[in-house]
Each structure stands twice: as structure tokens, then as C-alpha cells.
Amino acid sequence: MKQYDILILGAGPGGYVAAIKAAQMGAKTAIVEAGELGGVCLNVGCIPTKTLLKSAKVYESIMNADKYGINIGDKSLVSVNVDGMVKRKNQAVKRLTSGVKLLLEKNGVDIYKGFGEVVDKNTVKVNDEVLNIKNLIIATGSSPMIPEVEGIKESFEQGYAVTSTEVLDPKEIPEHLIVVGAGTISIEFATLYNALGSKVTILQRSPRILSGIDKDLSEAMAKVLTRKGVKIVYGVKHKKFEGNKIVVEVNGEEKIFEGDKILVSLGRTPNLKGLESLNLETDRKGIITDERLRTNIEGVYAIGDVNGKDLLAHVASAEGIIAVENIMGKDSKMSYDKIPSCIYSFPEIATVGLTEDEAREKGYDIVVGNFPLGANGKALAEGERDGFVKIVASKEYGEILGVHMMASTATDMIAEGVMTMELEGTLEDLARGIHPHPTLSETVMEAAHLALGSPIHTLKQ
């Protein structure tokens, strides 16, 4: 029977990072994965989605080339090569998953392909092999949550209803895509297929899309999507699926929406199969863990989507490192108050920290600087005027409490907000930091000036 200091169940962005860190810290390490290395993120999530979104952005840019003084003639001759897009996506995925395998092997991690069944906290069975372990890190991830709605199972079996996994491998661009839900995944796919020419309808239960982010951002994104032809229906109650149709109730009135595909995107559920023998404490989100990623079972840790704290790849990776450091004797804690969140729409959305409403609810006396991209030279030059940068700060000391932005490169720009908050920076720090011109990053500096009451390239709010 092989013995390991640390065994990780799952090789997603949490699991494989934990395995590499463990091996580097001197632990005899193994990782178990039933699917492909890289987990959901690399194979059917972050990377393939962004690869397809890039193709969609290129197509959208070509179709709007006249706005940049470029004539392409007959636009009907420009078409989407679906097979080519999917091939490019698969090539990117393969390259990254191969890289993960190489990193694990070069760091001396033993890789087991198969489903890992936990016999007890010190024993894991993979295929016909039994492994003895001192510490276990559960990184089994999550799966799309399928609601209990009449007819939905049959709709999936018929190929009309799909999850975020199936919609990544289209055979053709659907003429009409119905998106059930309006969270991050929903908005990214609505953006993707709208740019590729699909008629897109979003069916949302609550009064606004992206209800978890700053209200100004969600409202701005709703306006952008609507302007681009996406139909958003609010206050929807799902009644039943009928093949390629979904029957809903809107404001007491029954309505039927029909599409070539129906994307069901209503959240995710933790993967807990194979862990039953541990009697782990769980809640509706997943396995309960503390700030050191410990579960209620000594020597057992849980990271990533399976603990339900924050379903983001970079969070899983950070948690993996924290868990390993604690196992190896360091006292490391995970902080969840400065985690950036990104939406790869057109334009992108990125946030970190408290929203304006959250800051007020927590009792902060705040100042807000909201600088529009329309007043930024680089945004005007690139024809990317939609969006803004909003900074929420304490009035007394100017400490940054939250940064919220919509811009074509918001997911890269948000790192400045993250690092400023990590270093307990202030509005004064952001305003005094010299930003290169012309860049979109200048909007962060400008928003800080605005919050301080001395805007440079816009008027006082």
C-alpha cells in the first residue's frame, strides 16, 4: 500500500496548485482526478469560454469595421466558422492541460487517473488501488445545478436544454438562444452568442441581472445588452419545459418562450460523491471550512467550489496554498474580503471589495468617485466608451473599501484595486500615483481625484 503525506482529490485550479505547493514544501504528494487535469476551469469553464469570446469579439469588430474607417464590402460574405472556433478552443485547452500534467510530474507529484473513493480519512481507493494518507485535501469542485422543473429532464435528453458545458461545443450558432438565469456565466454566454448573431433572451427571476455586484454596474450592463439586441425578462417563475420551449409566469401572466437551445444557468452544486464515509459537516453551499480550510474532521481540508465560499478559480488556487501551508506547519489564514471577481462580457466587468450599498449597510461614512470611460482618451480612441470606474472609500481616512469597473480591459485593470486594498491604500495614494497616458488605467486615478472632490478631467458629481 502506497503512503502519502498529502493526497488531493481533484485536479482543478485548486487541486493541482495545492499538489505543486505540497511537493515543493517537501510532502510526498498524490493527486487523484477522474476527468481531465485542470478541472472545470481549464476544460469546460474559464479558458474555453474566454477563447470563444475572443473569436466572437473579433467577429463583432469585423462587422463594425466601418466605425473605424475600414470598408470590408459585402458583410454577408463574412461568416462564423463554428468548427474553426471550437478547434481553436480545444487547442488552447489541450495546451494548458498538458502544461498542468508536466508541472505536476516535474514537481514529483504522483498522478492517479480515476474516481477517488474515500474509505476513511486515512484511506482512499482509486480503481483497484488503496492509498494510505496522512492528510486529505478535497478539491472535487462543483457541477451545474439543475432545478426540479416539470419536463426539464426530457428537454435535456432531447438536446434542447443545455448547461454551460454543452453550450461550449456548438455544432452551429443557434438562431435563438434562451438563457435561464442572469449570473456571471449567463451574461458571458449571452454576450458570446449575441455577438455571433443569435437572438438572445434572458429569463431572470429577480428584478435585475448580476444581482451580486454593484447596482450601477448591473444596470449599466443591462443597458448595453439591451442596446445590442438582447431581450431581458425580469420577475420570471419557471413552470415547465416542453422540448425547445419553456413555460413561465411573468407578473401573473403565463408566457411561452421558444428557442433552438435553452441554456440552464442557475448556479452550481458541490460534488460530494465518494465522500460519504467522512460524515463531513455541510450546508447548502458545500463542505463547511474555517479560515484555514479545515473541515470538522482532523487532517481533512476542503478547497474550491466544494466548500461553496467563492466559486472562482483564483480563490480555489489561493485556498489550496493556504491549506497546504497549514498542513506543513505554517499558520496561514484565508481572507475573503479582497477577492476580485470578473465577468468577461463586452465590455468586461470587474469588482473587488464592498459595493456602495454594502458599505452603507455596514455603517461606513463613504465618498464615491465614479469616472466615465467616455471622458478617457484611450477609450475614445479605441471606440470603447461604455463603462466607468467607481471607487468606494471611507470619508474619514480615504481608505479604499471597494473598486468596481466596466471597461474593455476591466479584468486586467482590477488588479490595481486589489493591491491598493491589500496594502491598505487610500484615495490619495491612487490619485498621486502617476498613471501612463493614454491608458484606460488612468480612469482609476481620475475616479480617486473625483472622490477626493477635485476631479481633473470631468466635472464634480
Residues making up the annotated binding site for FAD are: 50, 116, 140-142
Annotated binding-site residue numbers for NAD(+): 181-188, 267, 305
Catalytic residues: 437
Bridge pairing between strands 176-180 and 261-264: parallel
Give the Å distances, CA to CA, from 92 to 39, 43, 51, 211. 14, 9, 8, 32
Bridge pairing between strands 2-9 and 245-250: unpaired
Handedness of CA 188, 189, 192, 198 (dihedral sign): negative
Tell me the sheet residues that pair with 342.
Answer: 350
Cell, residue 308:
461553496
Cα(122)–Cα(282) distance, integer angstroms:
20
Q: Give Cα 240 distance to the centre of its chain.
A: 28
Cell, residue 241:
419545459
3-state secondary structure of 246: strand
What secondary structure does DSSP assign to 353-395, as a single string? E--HHHHHHTT--EEEEEEEGGG-HHHHHHT----EEEEEEET
User: What b/e string do you get for 196-225 counting C-beta neighbours within 10 Å, with b at 16 or more?
Assistant: bbbbbbbbbeeeebbeebbebbbebbbebb
Q: Give Cα 247 distance to the centre of its chain.
A: 29
Q: Nearest 5°: phi and psi at 381? A: -60, -35
Annotated binding-site residue numbers: 50, 116, 140-142, 181-188, 267, 305
Beta strands in 411-456 (DSSP E): none
Q: Nearest 5°: phi and psi at 122? A: -115, 5
**Of 310, 307, 452, nearest in space to 369 by CA:** 452
Bridge pairing between strands 129-138 and 2-9: parallel
- With vertex at residue 50, the alpha carbon angle to CA 311 and CA 205, rounded to the nearest 5 degrees, is 50
What secondary structure does DSSP assign to 329-353, as a single string? T-------TT--EEE-SSSEEEEEE
3-state secondary structure of 177: strand
DSSP state of 211: T
